[in-house]
Structure 1
Amino acid sequence: MVPTLPTVLVFAGVDPSGGAGIAADIVAIAAQGAHALPVVTALTVQDNDRVFGVQPVAPELLRRQAQALIDKMAIHAVKIGIPGSAANAAVIAQLVGQLRQTRPDLPVVLDPVLASGHGDVLSRDDALLALAPLLPVTSVIVPNGPEAQALGGASRLLAQGCRHVLVTGGHGAGEMVVNRCFDSVGGEREWRWPRLPGAFHGSGCTLASAIAARLALGHTLAEALDLAQSYCHAALSDAYAIAPGQLMPQRFIQ
């Protein structure tokens, strides 16, 4: 028997520094024991700190990339990073709808990247507007604190259709990072992790991809959140430098 792995259909941009976007997603998903199917949404000009330009992929090319995979392969989860444009976000939402015709419970994890760690905007359109079509199809959205605030807070995201909102606390202060998850029925759960020194490039991509991979493997959401956060914290603990500025998470861990 030829071994098979569950797949995660990934929509994200290309980061030439190798620290975020598609590059981060592929490794983080592989480290969980799943296989990434990377669909490129945008090309970027960036280093490990700054984003200098974003060029979205044409919506029809985006659709063709994904459709070729959907037509042949079973998709076990979807991870979405930057759509690149509002038009691309609409295409991704349509593709998720298509997939859910045969698998209504297909998990979709959204990392709502509004800007780089330095504050550079990562969408040609209004970043909030570009995310609008994706919110109703999202199983778990993983904003950091500033992103959650820009999106109107957890309650607003839940009202727009997201089933679960995991707000990460890496941008906060204090000795502990507090991550909080809210659900559509009023549930709330929190995790506390020791705050690590330094700043990290692609930590959100790492966490969201690990959650999607764990869901693709069949873990419950509670298990996926536990395992993915533990993995992400370990990856940040072993981060390394390639240049001055933000560190690269060490994602090659099991």
Structure 2
Amino acid sequence: MSKVVLITGGSSGIGKSIGEFLHHKGFVVYGTSRNPEDILNSVFPLIALDVRNVDSIQLAVAKVISISGRLDVVINNAGVGITGPLEEIPTQEIKNNFETNFFGPIEVMKTVLPQMRSQESGLIINITSIAGYMGLPYRSIYSASKGALELITEALRMEVKSFGIHITNVAPGDFATNIASGRFHVPLIQGSAYELPYGQTLQMMDEHVDSGSNPNEMAKAIYKIIQTKNPNGHYKIGAFMQKFSIVLKRILPDKVYEKMLMNHYKL
């Protein structure tokens, strides 16, 4: 029997690539979008869902279960970027980011767990970020929201393992997607103390995304994880140096690692 997969944020970028790959592998795939009626080229069904709205989440999950009778894999992929000097990021934008990147995935997990528990099986994959393993300059809020989701996943894995449910994190590096166009970024303020260093860093971030890896690499990695009987708690997908930066953070003294990052960003 084909596994039933639900992917939040499945209308573009990494989510769309994962959905298309799994669809062609014979999975029953449902994606979500805040406005699915605006998406005309999806090869798998899209359901209305806004991860910031609990009622929306519950309706979408109920719809998938009513159609397919089960839910085997949930991929928490919906997320948004945010950049800027912490001092200049409006507090409301910080809260909005956490609503999407952190509280939203939590509500999705809370909604699907009863169904998975009744099945005595299920897999939840949380798409985090390599940025969640370290505090990156001018990406403090993004690093914090993704890092928080990593830790929630670690704890929840132990809480639900006895029910036959597996949960894992997949942390991508830079991939060539449209995430840069959809993120909130603090505009460069003329005369700001951060104008020059933030401007240089923002340009570097955009270049990294534009030259990022093919999202199909993520899709293949997700497929492999789904096929794994007992997945690990953490996976990192991306360029070697991006993944190696996590290793360096573990072994280098704090000040040395900080200096390395500052040199990289020319700060």
Higher strand share: 1
Q: Greater Rg, structure 1 or structure 2?
A: 2
Task: Tell me which interval the TM-score lies in, with the shorter structure as reference length.
Answer: 0.3 to 0.5
TM-score after normalising by structure 2: 0.43
Higher helix share: 2
TM-score after normalising by structure 1: 0.45
